[in-house]
A and B are shown apart, each in its own frame.
Chain A
């Protein structure tokens, strides 16, 4: 087998794999403009009726607003907690740092169903199940590790000596944090915040268990709907949800480019 043929085979194989990854999303986007009651591909007629259905129904809009609120609070909470933890983990020197690192990242791999029943038992005792507060707290448990991972990676590449220099020149802890540390990791903090928002907005399992009958987020409402029937309105909602990561990744790429060119120290200072 010649190298050219091998390469073509590799491209074909990987093209199919990428098709497998992307096709379902493309298909849902296309069928969301379907005009008929029955989902068809390709659609025989086009319309925006499923989008109208979504925007016109309180049963969809109220969960959407709640999801936005929960995601916003989660974003703020987990960005603050995650950035503080990342600073402590990367800059601190103390015994058990590796264990702490392990502990703070571990919620990313704990099955959410296990976390959900654990938190249910705890929050039910405080009568918080069904309250938005339960969701703020629970979502922050799974969103904070994302922020920690992203911000820690950025902190490891910035030079801690600059912070020491600021300190030895008389700046206090918070002044150093605000004027030296945070500006240098701002792009990472922003992307951490964005991913925390997204993680909360898409979160399903914790929301099902802790939302109770009253605090229904958009994913919880979708979950309830999808278990009984395939409502074409869901294709419109899915399309809107699929747009979020695309917009987010694009916005982050742009933000990172402008921020790094604006805040990067002159060449030569960085090792």
Chain B
């Protein structure tokens, strides 16, 4: 019971408590919707992955037994790790800049991140195809300058996937960082400076450690989104960049092996779910959108 409830409660167990206990009922319809169209379909995947028609672990054995599938696993972790590291290297200074400029400048910088963030992923990935493709804009320029005679392979490989994915996921790094950094008391840095610390020392000993929760929030979020990402690897990756998500599509659509596809889905879900539990228990759900408040 909070103060608000006590204030409006003339008799013990009166309308305040009654009101609050009934407020939960607003959840009934959304809950039914989510159980039917979210929880149930995902739990059906579990069933598909373990039965065929009797109980079996063969689909999981296949996943860990065949080099082609292990390669997808390796690709996915490799791509996700790189994307997380690059996003951190680009995102940290940007979030830091946002906290040291005036509120007006910060608003402009935030909009410059928000607009691409809300632009369709498909549009942004297509834009990279126009820029990096075989006959794309970069190759046009390089060839007209005579830097190269044959077009460089900039997409349908690891490079293309990484560029495209960093572009899509960078805002998910910036916003959690910004939400943590903007809550750091700037007086602490000022105090360190007045006590004789150099700007570098004040940053490394005071600001950086205080911003670490934002770093872990951003990294976990970017990594978990990268692991299950489909659109960009499918469009910008080549045959060597089959990831977990694109493998699922391949198995389900081309091989029509729904049991194996389901087991891949369950595996992916387990990885993402574990990371999400970690994220929300350690760092708080409100950081997810960067709208977190103290």
Contact = CB atoms under 8 A, between A and B. Distances in A.
A149 B118 CA distance: 16
A149 B228 contact: no
Contacts of A18: 94, 109, 112-113
Interface of B: 1-5, 7-8, 10, 15-16, 19-31, 33-34, 37-42, 44-45, 48, 90-91, 93-94, 96-97, 109, 111-116, 118-124, 126-131, 133, 135-137, 140, 167, 170-171, 199, 224-225, 227-231, 235, 245, 248-249, 252, 258, 261-262, 265, 268-269, 272-273, 276-277, 280, 285-286, 288-289, 291, 293
Contacts of B131: 24, 27
Interface string A77-106: 000011011011101111001001111111
B93 A141 contact: no
Contact of A204 (B4, B121, B269): B121
A14 B97 CA distance: 8
Looking at chain A's contact residues, the main secondary structure is: helix
Nearest to B97: A14
A249 B288 contact: no
Interface stretch (A48-56, A57-65, A234-242, A261-269): A234-242
Interface in A84-140: 84-85, 87-89, 91-94, 97, 100-115, 117-119, 121-122, 137-138, 140
Contacts of B291: 149-150, 153
Given A105-B285, A118-B42, A223-B122, A93 B137 contact: no
Interface of A: 3, 6, 10-11, 13-14, 17-18, 20-22, 24-25, 27-28, 31, 38-41, 81-82, 84-85, 87-89, 91-94, 97, 100-115, 117-119, 121-122, 137-138, 140-141, 144, 149-150, 153, 156-157, 159-161, 163-165, 167-168, 173, 195, 198, 202, 204-205, 219, 222-223, 226-227, 230, 234-235, 238, 241-242, 245-246, 248-249
B122 A17 contact: no
Nearest to A246: B115
6 contacts: A25-B119, A150-B291, A164-B19, A195-B118, A204-B121, A249-B111
The 10 closest A-B pairs by CB, nearest first: A111-B228, A92-B24, A118-B41, A88-B27, A245-B118, A24-B127, A164-B8, A88-B26, A161-B4, A85-B30
